[in-house]
Amino acid sequence: MTRLKNILARFKLSLIRRKYVPASIAVPEDMINCKNTLVCLPPGQRELTMVKQLLPELSRVFAESEIYLLAAPGSSVYSIFPRKGYRILTPTSQHLTWSGLPKKSYLAGLHESDFKVIIDMNPSRDYFSQAILLSFPAAIKIGRANHLGTPYYNLEIKTRYLRDEKNIYKSIIATVDRIKNPAAVNAKGTVE
């Protein structure tokens, strides 16, 4: 049954990719003017704990933005993440189609928040987060290089870390900070 669901999810994603039309974005202007930022969280407890440790840095980079944390369907994040200062979105089975993709009504609810920046911290190739990324053509979608690529991301960040998720996440946030706040980078090329 799971195999059939995966086949159907891949088929639906391929249809969505064919219809996908990218919108023009302006980097770093759209990041600077961003009012709502969406962070797609990984499903595993170990990875969630690593992302939690980086929330203060993410909050500093997007200080003027409301940060929404999108949990993977079925994951329990309330015991890990603080509720103060972040909006946690936890999709349930009622928000999913039979194949595991988000329903149109759930996507419509997400679009009400008008996310201009989406950061994918999910190391796995999750069909749910792929559908979320494809549904926001006008957002700056950021992820690690050699993971999903175009059209899912329009900004891929390559790091020297191959399997160390915590340092991959740190590199992504540091690079976004350098792009968004170039004045904070000193002459040596390091962030002050």
d(CA 26, CA 17): 22
Cα 29 to Cα 24, 62, 135, 178, 190: the distances in Å are 12, 13, 21, 13, 21
Q: Strands across the sheet with 36-40, in order? A: 87-89, 66-70, 36-40, 117-120, 140-144, 155-157
Rounded CA-CA distance 68/118 in Å is 9
Model pLDDT, residue 78: 72
pLDDT values of the chain reduced to their tens digit, one per residue, 192 residues:
788 988 999 999 999 999 998 888 888 898 988 999 999 988 877 888 888 888 899 999 998 999 999 988 877 777 777 667 788 888 988 999 999 999 999 999 999 999 999 999 887 788 999 999 999 999 999 988 878 888 899 988 887 766 777 888 888 899 999 998 887 655 445 544
Question: Which pTM value belongs to this model?
Answer: 0.87
Instruction: Quote the DSSP letter at residue 135.
Output: T
- Which domains does the chain possess? 2-17+27-182 (3.40.50.2000)
